[in-house]
């Protein structure tokens, strides 16, 4: 009887999930199997068009690579930051968490346009480098993949840090002391104790950053420009400019499947490393 009650409690959420997520997803799959933009002739034409075009594979690969590069950059910068947080006094921790969460309180549009001001030809970075005499001509940072990865790293950083910090602050400090008492160097303690134990947080952060950066339409188009073509730009063009909804559905499903594949691979790696720690 009690079990039944619990099951019933989950019912509203399940119904909401089915009606606002599953049903549209099934419709998306359905729409992708029409040959014409008026959605009248069923067929595999749009899939054949997309999968038969080498350009599509380049766009898929570029999108996934962008996600992976952003993930790597957030780890390289975020992990040391999480370690600093771990060693900081409770007061400093509060300040740090405020700084980490602050970008989330700003609209992504504002953050993206702020990066135009920073990376632009007459932006903060170029002005500084030119005044210091390091460069004589402004560097091209906007509308390059480098500029995009730099800005996405900042924009997505909270998504890496929050799960990482929540897992790391639950680590037993005695383990670190034990490691150094047994003669391990700080680096050895880091790689043999802290990193493996923080793996669940790291993997969760990677999943979030990857999924969010591969689908970050605003940042990709405003900072990257339209010469860097990723799947979200194609979806936008096909659904809202050209009105070819079946083709847009094909690209959307491709993005969904590609992101899910990488995300599953990451969480598989996470589970394996978890087994290694506890096994």
Q: Residue 61 Cβ, how far from other proteins at the closest point, in Å?
A: 12
Which lies closer to other proteins via its Cβ, residue 237 or residue 267? Answer: 237
Angstrom distances, CA of residue 102 to CA of 65, 74, 202, 212: 27, 16, 21, 18
C-alpha–C-alpha distance, residues 64 and 174, integer Å: 40
Which residue in 26, 57, 58, 87 binds other proteins (CB under 8 A)?
Answer: 58
Q: Does 166 bind other proteins (CB under 8 A)?
A: no
Which of the stretches 7-15, 26-34, 173-181, 229-237 binds other proteins when contact is defined by CB under 8 A?
229-237
Site pattern 7..46 for other proteins (x: CB under 8 A): ----------------------------------------
Q: Does 243 bind other proteins (CB under 8 A)?
A: yes
Q: Does 229 bind other proteins (CB under 8 A)?
A: yes
Q: Which residues contact 264 (CB under 8 A, 6 or more apart)?
A: none
Which lies closer to other proteins via its Cβ, residue 59 or residue 206? Answer: 59
Concatenate the DSSP letters of all residues of 158-198 into one string: HHHHHHHHHHHTTS-HHHHHHHHHTT--HHHHIIIIIHHHH
Q: Does 51 bind other proteins (CB under 8 A)?
A: no
Concatenate the DSSP letters of all residues of 53-84 into one string: -HHHHHHHHHHHHHHHHHHHHHHHHHHHHHHH
Report residue 35: phi and psi, to 5°.
Answer: -80, -25
Q: Does 52 bind other proteins (CB under 8 A)?
A: no
Which lies closer to other proteins via its Cβ, residue 144 or residue 166? Answer: 144
Coil, strand, or helix at residue 32? helix
Which lies closer to other proteins via its Cβ, residue 138 or residue 274? Answer: 138
42: DSSP letter: B
Residues near other proteins (CB under 8 A) are 55, 58, 113, 116-117, 120-123, 142-143, 145, 221-222, 225-229, 234, 237, 239-244
């Amino acid at each position: 009887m009690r079990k039944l009650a619990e099951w019933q409690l989950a019912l509203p959420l399940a119904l909401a999930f089915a009606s606002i997520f599953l049903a549209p997803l099934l419709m998306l799959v359905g729409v992708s199997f029409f040959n014409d933009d008026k959605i009248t002739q069923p067929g595999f034409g749009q899939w054949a068009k997309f999968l038969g075009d080498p350009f599509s594979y380049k766009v898929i690969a570029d999108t996934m690579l962008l996600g992976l590069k952003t993930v790597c950059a957030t780890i390289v910068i975020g992990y040391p930051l999480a370690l600093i947080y771990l060693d900081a006094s409770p007061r400093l921790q509060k300040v740090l968490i405020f700084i980490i969460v602050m970008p989330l309180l700003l609209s992504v549009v504002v953050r993206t346009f702020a990066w135009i001001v920073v990376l632009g030809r007459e932006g903060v970075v170029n002005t500084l480098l030119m005044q210091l005499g390091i460069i004589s001509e402004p560097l091209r940072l906007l509308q390059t993949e480098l500029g995009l990865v730099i800005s996405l790293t900042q924009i997505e950083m909270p998504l890496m840090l929050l799960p990482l910090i929540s897992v790391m602050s639950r680590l037993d400090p005695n383990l670190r002391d034990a490691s150094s008492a047994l003669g391990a160097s700080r680096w050895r303690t880091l790689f043999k104790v802290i990193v493996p134990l923080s793996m669940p947080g790291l993997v969760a952060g990677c999943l979030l950053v990857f999924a969010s950066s591969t689908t970050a339409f605003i940042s990709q188009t405003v900072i990257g420009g339209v010469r860097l073509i990723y799947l979200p730009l194609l979806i936008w063009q096909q659904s809202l400019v050209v009105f070819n909804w079946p083709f847009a559905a094909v690209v959307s499903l491709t993005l969904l499947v590609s992101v899910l594949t990488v995300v599953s691979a990451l969480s598989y790696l996470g589970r394996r490393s978890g087994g290694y720690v506890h096994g």
